[in-house]
Structures are given as structure tokens and as C-alpha cells.
Amino acid sequence: MAVCLLDANYLLRRSIYAVQSESFTKETITLAFLKSLKSCLDTTFATACVAVWDGGYSRRRLKMFPGYKAERREKVETLESRLHMQAFYEQTEVLKTLLPKFGVYWIKLKGREADDIIAMIVPWLKNKVRRIAILTGDRDIFQMVDRNVIVYNPDSKKILALENFEEVTGIQKKFYILHRSLVGEKSRNGIDGVPLVGDKTAAKLLSIPEVSGFIDLIYHCMRDKSTKAEMNIVENFEVVCRNMELLDLTREVFTDAEESRVFSTLSGSLPTLSMTEQIRFLRDQGLRELISSLTYWVDPFNRLSKNLMSGGMA
């Protein structure tokens, strides 16, 4: 079985921006979302799908670094942004009802970010399925790439796997978190990096043969004739350590109750609807526009397993 773990917030926002504001209806946005997801399911050959939603910002990260994603949390609203936000919340409710009826599991935890939930699910699924495809536009999730874990970006149409990781990212997989911690995530997450250390400088330093980790890098940067960028790495030792804590998705600790809720959901079964029942459901939900194009978008959803644990490694 091949399972798609969907960053649902990302795909919904992408679908909303693909629809002109004056054309916002629950039918047009839902159809854009389903068509995009259809394409992703076809590309990754997924036979099961889990939609994972943001339930808030990480309390652990906010406590450690109050500036975490501050720009997003304090963003000044415009008329367009309010329209998009309203559409987002309305569509979330529509999809919450619709997706499980068409074979897509739904996961959301209050105060938890989708990336962190995905990072919690991946180890649990690894030995239960043949392949995991994570669908997202967020490169933080690149750290989850492994032998049977790939990342698919619908925007670039590229698949990131262990085999092409260094070719695509420019760095070795084992250095990915350290590289992002040196560079920072200022524009996306408000996380400062080391001054004068950009993508290329960090990649060059981490390609030095004697550097096998952060401590080796510090020793290298403390040598005679260090560059200004290298001196900055030494001076910002604590900043880099903090960033590694912030960016490492496996550092998030979930409660037993949260894990139980997620794994019990994924261990359960979803309803199987006939074509007649699908049409009746869409009509009852006021989604008549989806009925006219049902045969176009519904096929990969009908192929999805309604019992995640039934397929095993097949």
C-alpha cells in the first residue's frame, strides 16, 4: 500500500488562490481542491490518503522563541486576506464532511501543526506500508525523507526521494536540519539564521570532508584565518542550537491521548459509497456542480483503501 499524507492547509490555500475572489463559492473551491488532490494521488500512485490539518501553533516553539511565526500571527488584514480567510474556514467545514465520504482520512489536533503531526505518523506507518508520499509545499518536511518516504510538491511537480535528495537540495540528507538552522527561516517562520551564512555558504561548509556534524563545524570555524561568516557561526552557537530545536519536527512531544486519537482514527475504517450514494451525498450538501464533473475527479478517490491497515505492505 502507498499512503499519501496530505498537508491539507497548504493544498486548500493553494486551491483558494487558484480561484478568483469574485468566483468564490463552496463548489468552485471544493472542485479546485479535489482536482488538485486527484492529480497528486495519480502522480504518487497512492492507494490511501490522510488529510492532516493545522490546529494552531506549536506551544513548545512559542515558549522557546516568542517570535516564531510572528509575522503570520500579527499580519495586518486586508479585504482580500479577509475574503481568503473566510473562504478557508468555510471550506474546511465542507471538506471535513466530504473527504471521509470519498476515502480520505481526516486528522486535526488542537494546538498542533500539520508538519508535526505528519512527523509523528510517519514512524508509525513506515513498517506497515510499502511507501509514504508526503504532499506539501513546505520544505521543513524534507527532513522526513527516508528509504520509503518521499515528498511531492504540487507547485514544482517534483518528487524528492532519498536517491535524489542531494541533487535537489544541494546538501546531504544528514545535514538538512543543520543547514536550515544555519541559514534560518526568517521569511516563513521568523527564525533568524547566522549573519552572512546563506544557502550556498552553509552547503559549502557542510561539504568539507572533516565536518560530520555541528561540533566538527564549530572546530573548523575556530581555526586560524576563519572567514567572517565562519566567525559568526561560532559567535551564534546558541542561535544555531535553538534553531535545531525549533526546526527538528521529531522534537515535538505528543500526549498519550493525542497519539491514541490519531492512531485510532487511522486504524478505523471509512464508509464505502456507491456512485448513487455519492451523488445523493453531494446533492444533500448543495454541491451540485461537483456532480456534473464527478466522473472526472472521483476515480482515484474510489481506488483509495477505506481501511488503512488492510493493505499492509502489498
187: confidence class by pLDDT, cuts 50, 70, 90: confident
Measured CA distances, 151 to 248, 269, 290 (Å): 17, 25, 29
Q: Which helix (H) or strand (E) holds 133?
A: strand 131-135
3-state DSSP assignment of residue 153: strand
* Claim to verify: residue 233 and residue 201 sit in the same structural domain: yes
For every residue of 45-110, DSSP letters joined together read T-SEEEEEE--S--HHHHHH-TTTTHHHHTPPP-HHHHHHHHHHHHHHHHHHHHHHHTTEEEEE-T
* Claim to verify: residue 119 and residue 16 sit in the same structural domain: yes
The answer to whether position 280 is within a domain reads yes
The answer to whether position 303 is within a domain reads no
The side-by-side arrangement of strands in the sheet containing 2-7 is 104-108, 48-53, 2-7, 131-135, 149-153, 158-160
* Claim to verify: residue 14 and residue 146 sit in the same structural domain: yes
Q: At residue 140, does pLDDT exceed 60?
A: yes
* Claim to verify: residue 68 and residue 217 sit in the same structural domain: no
* Claim to verify: residue 112 and residue 241 sit in the same structural domain: no
Task: Output the domain CATH number for residue 181.
Answer: 1.10.150.20
* Claim to verify: residue 63 and residue 189 sit in the same structural domain: no
pLDDT value of position 22: 62
Q: At residue 312, does pLDDT exceed 60?
A: no
User: What percent of the chain is predicted at pLDDT more than 90?
Assistant: 70
pLDDT value of position 314: 47
* Claim to verify: residue 151 and residue 179 sit in the same structural domain: no
The answer to whether position 156 is within a domain reads yes
Q: Which helix (H) or strand (E) holds 162?
A: none
Q: At residue 1, does pLDDT exceed 70?
A: yes
Distance CA 31, CA 305 (A): 21
Measured CA distances, 12 to 118, 137, 263, 272 (Å): 17, 12, 24, 24
* Claim to verify: residue 106 and residue 216 sit in the same structural domain: no
Pick the range with the lowest mean pLDDT from 7-21, 44-58, 188-202. 7-21
Range of the domain at 127: 2-169+255-297
Average pLDDT over residues 151-179: 95
Average pLDDT over residues 258-274: 93
Distance CA 149, CA 131 (A): 6
Q: At residue 26, does pLDDT exceed 90?
A: no
Query: What phi and psi values does residue 105 have, to the nearest 5 degrees?
Result: -70, 150
Q: For the chain, what is the domain count?
A: 2
- Give the tens place of pLDDT for each residue, 66-125: 888 876 766 656 766 777 788 888 889 999 999 999 999 999 999 999 999 999 999 999
CB 22 within 8 A of CB 77: no
Average pLDDT over residues 301-309: 87
> Across-strand partners of 134?
5, 151
The answer to whether position 77 is within a domain reads yes
Residue 207 has, within 13 A of its CA and on its CB side, a CA count of 10
The answer to whether position 310 is within a domain reads no
Which of 171, 164, 187, 80 is CA-nearest to residue 88?
A: 80
* Claim to verify: residue 80 and residue 43 sit in the same structural domain: yes
Kindly tell me the sign of the dihedral angle through the C-alpha atoms of 96, 258, 2, 134: positive
Average pLDDT along the chain: 91
The answer to whether position 103 is within a domain reads yes
Average pLDDT over residues 286-293: 87
The answer to whether position 308 is within a domain reads no
3-state DSSP assignment of residue 8: helix
- Give the tens place of pLDDT for each residue, 218-238: 999 998 788 999 999 999 999
Task: Output the domain CATH number for residue 145.
Answer: 3.40.50.1010
The answer to whether position 314 is within a domain reads no
* Claim to verify: residue 242 and residue 260 sit in the same structural domain: no
Q: Could you tell me the pTM of the whole model?
A: 0.92
CB 56 within 8 A of CB 112: yes
Residue type, 150: I
* Claim to verify: residue 93 and residue 216 sit in the same structural domain: no
pLDDT value of position 295: 84
